[in-house]
A and B are shown apart, each in its own frame.
Chain A
Amino acid sequence: SQQGEEDPQALSIQEGENATMNCSYKTSINNLQWYRQNSGRGLVHLILIRSNEREKHSGRLRVTLDTSKKSSSLLITASRAADTASYFCATEGTGGFKTIFGAGTRLFVKA
């Protein structure tokens, strides 16, 4: 399969709690990106982390990358109901700009 693996597939939390999603991939990468998608709409780019970076922050988002384990995690702190969406990791391989998406995590934040 061209896809990476993400876990959990679905996550339900209370507003204010933190949400952690994990992504594993198979090949060497130039970078890894996280996207959000609301109800089958377009993608919203959240954050990009390059292969030589280990951690990156953007507002309530924290992304880590472990290239030795070929894995990444996305942490959303102090979640809000508006964070309810599907979250995908996507990797750009070293062979070109082809971006391959993980299976995604559906996050539901209860108010």
Chain B
Amino acid sequence: AQSVTQLGSHVSVSEGALVLLRCNYSSSVPPYLFWYVQYPNQGLQLLLKYTTGATLVKGINGFEAEFKKSETSFHLTKPSAHMSDAAEYFCAVSPRRGGGSYIPTFGRGTSLIVHP
């Protein structure tokens, strides 16, 4: 079974400060990993994904994440927060099942608060 733990239900930063949202996963084999963002009353939007290859993944809106197998982590970062980054962020993991259902398991989410 796979699971995702997002450390911190809320993260508060000042505009222009570094954003760090933590995600640790549990899986018997290295899975596919994702970060999604959700704005109020909207669905989820994919920020970035890791499937294979380079462990540092760049996504949209200046976000990036690094897959660290030894730490079973996939933390999301952004060098400089913007007010528009305030949203709920979800880390997700899905198994590497060839031809399988590719159903992701989501973490509980981290609410990013950006102060002016």
Chain B binds chain A: no
Residues of B within 8 A of A (CB): none
Residues of A within 8 A of B (CB): none
